[in-house]
Amino acid sequence: EDQVTQSPEALRLQEGESSSLNCSYTVSGLRGLFWYRQDPGKGPEFLFTLYSAGEEKEKERLKATLTKKESFLHITAPKPEDSATYLCAATSSGGSYIPTFGRGTSLIVHP
């Protein structure tokens, strides 16, 4: 059974304090690894798709990386507006295109 586990569940940072969120995945052949940002009461907003180990993608203060077992979302010099829940999901090559989602990391950035 495919599994995606995110850690930590919650993270509090001071503005400017860089950190990383972890996403560990167990799928039968990774097809794609996805990161989303979700604000309270809203739908997840797509951030990145990663396909192979060693791949990296960046957007503003966010950088996503991928290894054969996990993905990291690095947040550099975060601002209060980066506060949100970050969701990770993975699809497997042997199955459907339906992703398995992690429970998310709730990030709060204090000014």
What phi and psi, each to the nearest 5 degrees, are found at residue 81? -70, -10
Q: Is 57 in the site for another protein (CB under 8 A)?
A: no
Contact string (CB under 8 A) for another protein, positions 71-90, x = contact: ----------------x---
- Between CA 109 and CA 103 the distance in angstroms is 19
CB of 59 to another protein, least distance (A): 14
Which of 81, 79, 72, 77 is CA-nearest to residue 105? 72
Chain residues that interact with another protein, rule: CB under 8 A: 31-32, 34, 36, 41-46, 49, 87, 91, 96-99, 101-104
